[in-house]
Amino acid sequence: MKALDNHDARRQSLAVKILLYALMTLVAVILIFPYAFMVSKSLMSHEEVVDPTIKLLPAVPLFSNYAELFSDSGYGMGFLHTFIIVGVNCVIIPLSASFIAFSFAKLDFIGKKVSFAVMLGTMMLPGAITQLSLFAIYAKLKWLNTFWPFIIPNLFGGGALYIFLIRQFMLGIPRDMDNAAKIDGANAFVRYWSIILPLCKPVLIYVVVNVFISYWGDYYGPLIYMRSSNAPKTLAQVVFESAVDENVATDMANIRMCGGVIMSVVPAILFAFFQKQLIEGVVLTGLKD
Q: Could you say which residues in the range 155-194 bind another protein, by CB under 8 A?
A: 155-157, 163, 187-188, 192
CA distance 82 to 62: 26
Compare residues 38 and 77 and give the one whose CB is closer to another protein. Answer: 38
For residues 125-154, which are near another protein according to CB under 8 A? 125-137, 139, 153
| Closest to 217 measured CA to CA, from 283, 274, 271, 137 | 271
Compare residues 84 and 223 and give the one whose CB is closer to another protein. Answer: 223
CB of 67 to another protein, least distance (A): 19
Size of the site for another protein (CB under 8 A): 95
Pick the piece of the chain touching another protein (CB under 8 A) from 58-66, 75-83, 107-115, 170-178: 107-115
| Closest to 150 measured CA to CA, from 204, 264, 226 | 226
CA distance 11 to 243: 52
CB of 88 to another protein, least distance (A): 16
Pick the piece of the chain touching another protein (CB under 8 A) from 19-27, 71-79, 175-183, 196-204: 19-27
Pick the piece of the chain touching another protein (CB under 8 A) from 57-65, 66-74, 80-88, 109-117: 109-117
Pick the piece of the chain touching another protein (CB under 8 A) from 52-60, 77-85, 168-176, 200-208: 52-60
What is residue 109's DSSP assignment? -
The answer to whether the beta carbons of residues 124 and 186 sit under 8 Å apart is: no
- For residue 237, what is the enclosing H or E element? helix 235-244
Site membership for another protein, residue 224 (CB under 8 A): yes
∠133-138-143 over CA atoms, to 5°? 160
Amino acid type, 137? I
| Closest to 100 measured CA to CA, from 53, 146, 45, 160 | 160
Compare residues 102 and 169 and give the one whose CB is closer to another protein. Answer: 102
Among 3, 4, 110, 183, binds another protein (CB under 8 A): 110
Among 213, 231, 248, 277, binds another protein (CB under 8 A): 213
CB of 174 to another protein, least distance (A): 20
Q: Which residues of 253-266 are buried (b: 16+ CB within 10 A; e: fewer)?
A: bbbbbbbbbbbeeb
CB of 101 to another protein, least distance (A): 9
Q: Exposure of 25 by Cβ count < 10 A (0-12 exposed, 13-18 middle, 19+ buried)?
A: exposed
Count, residues in the chain? 289
Among 208, 212, 219, 255, binds another protein (CB under 8 A): 219
CA distance 89 to 83: 10
For residues 56-95, which are near another protein according to CB under 8 A? 56
CB of 277 to another protein, least distance (A): 13
For residues 234-273, which are near another protein according to CB under 8 A? 236, 239-240, 242-244, 246, 250, 253, 256-257, 259-261, 263-264, 267-268, 270-271
CA distance 144 to 169: 36
